[in-house]
Chains A and B, each alone.
Chain A
Amino acid sequence: MITRVALGTVFMVATLMIVSFTAIDEPARMAQFESGYHGRSVEAGAALYANNCATCHGPDGKGIAGRAPAINAADLYNGTRFKEIGWSGTTHDYVHGAIAGGRPRASAAFADYPQRMPTWSREFGGPLRPDQVNNIVDFVMNWEETALLEVVAEKPSDFVAVGLDLKDPVLPKGDVAHGEKLTQTYGCVACHMNPDMNVAPGPGWPAKYYSGGVSIAERAATRFTAADYTGNATSAEEYLRESILQTNVYVVPPYVANIMPKIYGEQMAAQDLADVIAYLQTIK
């Protein structure tokens, strides 16, 4: 009997030890399961996309002219598209809503497509289960990363980045219209053209979107002379150039440093930068 009791105690202690080891590992295991499951969800979404969506939106999501808009496109993820329609939620919710409910009525921007976007979720009479809709959303949102980098991908082969200096190279003459377009492709508008000053991540460019009531053109012309200015600009152009390239040298109050991306020195050619600056100087 003693052996039995002793051995039984050993079993019990061993069991408790294994359970405690398992306990230590639980948070990591749960996190691993979560990311694993997200991966499988994207896989399931890919298959559903190929079967249900590719015919209209193209196999790569680039859209098909005259049929359906691109959903693998920077403007969907950087918020430009939402600006036009005044949507203030997240891209994820927007995409989820569009897929689950469909678009029975054409939105102004896409009115020229002959067929409407169908309803997909069973909740609204569509063919897919809610979890399948979630799978597709995970798949679509998986484009975000590459879609946002697209600007870089489209660079011409003779591209020379403008770099970070304020005087070198000397900028060519800027093209205002092209500059305006670039602010959309680069996604500046998501932060600087938001009508709601309370949620905008950066200072609005038009006077009406800025709390001080002055436009970016006027601000650029005066700020480099202000007492609290910490940068090195000596002209309006240089101030804008510095703000875009060396974003942290002077941080516009009450905004914080490091929100604005520090990537434009590598992404823009001298002409691009000149165009953007020219455009900014025209904003009222």
Chain B
Amino acid sequence: MALFKLHVPILDDIKTKGWRSALVATVDQTVERITAGINIGEIRSILRGEAPRRPNPRVKPHADGFWMHMRPTFFHEQVMSLYPTFRLGWLTTYMLVFETITGLFLMLWYTPSPDIAYTNMLSLLSNVPFGLFMRDLHRLGAELMVMLVLLHMLRTFVTGSYKKPRQFTWFTGGVLLLLTLFLSFSGYLLPWDQLALWAVTIGASMAEATPVVGREVNLLVRGGADIGANGLLRFYLLHVFALPLIAFIFVGVHYYKVIIHGHSLPPGAEKVGEDTARKVPMERRLYFLPDVMTRELFWTVGWLALMVFMVTWGGWHAPLEPHADSQITPLHTTAPWYFLWLQGMLKLGDKVFFGVILPGILSGLLFVMPYLEVGPSRRYADRRIGLSIAALTIVIMSVLTFMGTPYYGVSSSPDQEVLTTLAPQTHPGLLRGTAYDELPVGEWVASGWNNAPSQGLQAVLQLYNQEIERYADQLVNAKGKMSITEIQAGLKQVTMQVEWENNGAHASEPLTVYLHRDSAYEH
């Protein structure tokens, strides 16, 4: 008996059938192997839009292939139109994968150390082809993913898809919500700019208020009393390793639950109290190959096109502020938008109650809600109370979010408000955005804006004047002064100071801004 036998079937085929049909047969077999069961003939038939033969050969990849075995062979056609899912779950899954891929590119250029992280960002933007593009896509993807998760949650609530037997699906969804928020939040710190440092500092100080464990947890995450080298490294590892890993696991659990219960049908499509998602009549089946797959790909490609458009011609760019500096607190620091509601809540009163206990109870309720709200009907007409509560929650959240912004309840001196509107610490603002040559050297006053010699200066002084008038009750007879000098070739110094008379003469701290000819904020 031979110990080793080499057999190349194509050689036999060539002998018997001739090389042409032998080659065709081999290619066909190879395609079938890769697709786990679909040969070229079947692909052509799919593309021609022909109905499958019986038994359906197109379900074979679901049984034999790794990727396809995660997906059902068919869906109810009623859950495959835009309503009721709005494809939100699919798009969120796509975002998670998308963020992983774009994130891997960014990792190549990034070192998690306060000494070099910011410089890394600058060289990513100035020296790496498509560096800006990748960074923008990753950042945009992160923001969109948070929005998509929230919308997806809202839709599963509205269609009552959290009800029996899908309570646990909702629960794992809750875990995914938290993971998504923390993934986004942990990424916030990495560029190590002012925005990053202060947003995270605020977030951390909110968490610090948690009774008993707040300080310890904070110490553990930040690696010290303040966010520094240790904190950055920990956030980085959470962001690129721990959180994505857990998220992928939970997406697996979440989707497994979705499959075993079947996508819930639109609430009106079945009798109250019944769940017919798993019993799909023959004639209402929509097979994964090709219908569901082409739909999903269509949405993927469309969404990608939208994002690429936004970060290129749409002009959306990830922010990058000056280097993080714990000595310089920007006048108004805010948490990321999805935590603004918390910041708003903190303005209501006691830090521990409004910042930790109440939000804690609320998010706890979110998890167990399906186990408490056990009304049998998923129909909208039967759930007026539940839907009203959802609507109310959205309104309250929006109000709290607004209250979290600096527009609400932040007391700082009006003169500083006026000056920082012109030259904010957290983004360029109008003054820096004005072209270098539009800011002529000289002494100017806000009220004389319409006599300014250039359009750019006119716009700046007009805003200056407007802001002063906004606080007219506190800034009595105010005069907004601005002096522009050129202190170096291509470098101007703009000093602004507000003087007013309210029970005696006052003058603000002067605010000095330097503007270089090349700095190109206006772009």
Contact = CB atoms under 8 A, between A and B. Distances in A.
Contacts, number: 120
Contacts of B127: 30, 34
B138 to A, nearest CB: 15
B298 A4 contact: yes
A6 to B, nearest CB: 10
Contacts of A44: 322, 514
A85 interface: no
Nearest to A25: B312
B489 A23 contact: no
A11 B130 CA distance: 20
Nearest to B513: A43
Given A30-B129, A37-B122, A46-B487, A8 B518 contact: no
B294 A21 contact: no
B487 A23 contact: no
Most chain B beta-carbon neighbours within 10 Å: one of A18, A32, A139? A18
A40 B294 contact: no
B142 to A, nearest CB: 20
A4 B290 CA distance: 11
Contacts of A131: 118-119, 323
Interface in A1-59: 1-2, 4-5, 7-8, 11-12, 14-15, 18-19, 21-23, 26-27, 29-30, 32-40, 42-44, 46-47, 50
Nearest to B291: A1
Given A15-B301, A15-B308, A19-B308, A4 B489 contact: no
A207 B295 CA distance: 86
A60 interface: yes
Interface residues of B, number: 46
Contacts of B132: 29, 33
A46 B312 contact: no
B46 to A, nearest CB: 9
A129 interface: yes
Given A38-B518, A44-B322, A47-B514, A4 B295 contact: yes
A90 B121 CA distance: 27
Interface-centre pick from A11, A26, A35, A47 (highest chain B CB count, 10 A): A11
B108 interface: no
Given A11-B304, A27-B129, 20 more contacts: A1-B290, A4-B298, A7-B298, A7-B302, A15-B301, A15-B309, A21-B312, A26-B130, A30-B126, A30-B127, A30-B131, A34-B127, A39-B518, A42-B514, A44-B322, A50-B512, A131-B119, A142-B491, A143-B488, A146-B489
12 contacts: A1-B290, A7-B298, A8-B294, A11-B301, A23-B129, A36-B518, A36-B519, A38-B516, A42-B514, A43-B514, A46-B488, A47-B512
List of 7 A-B pairs having minimum Cβ-Cβ separation, nearest first: A39-B519, A39-B518, A39-B516, A36-B520, A43-B514, A46-B514, A11-B305
